[in-house]
Amino acid sequence: MATLVHQLPKAHKIYDGTGKTLDEAIKDAHKKIPPFRKGPGFNKQTNEPTAAKEGAADVAIRCKVVDIHYESGGFTRASTFQVRVIEG
């Protein structure tokens, strides 16, 4: 059995997810990525910068799957996907 190892830069944080299907596992890992913060704004009437607003920005978060692991078997014949993703 061949094993492929990807070298990831240390700057990337890895998020893990599990699920019964591959799609569920990716969605589970994607939920763990923190949302982008809203940055400082600009008031057009007074021409002054404004403070950053609370909450998440309306920006879609994209992720890349770097590792997929599949387990099946046992007494219950359960199958589980385990996924590792990075933000990107």
Q: Tens digits of per-residue pLDDT, 27-66? A: 899 888 887 766 777 778 888 887 776 666 566 677 888 8
Give the DSSP letter of residue 24: H
Q: How many CB atoms lie within 10 A of CB 27?
A: 13
Per residue in 63-85, pLDDT (tens digit) is 888 899 999 887 878 889 999 98
pTM: 0.64
Give the type of residue at 34.
P
Task: Name the strand (E) or helix (H) holding 27.
Answer: helix 22-31
Of 7, 25, 8, 24, give the one whose Cα is nearest residue 16. Answer: 25
Cα Rg for the chain, rounded, in angstroms? Answer: 19
* Residue ranges of domains in the chain, CATH in brackets: 11-34+58-88 (3.30.1660.10)
Give the type of residue at 13.
K
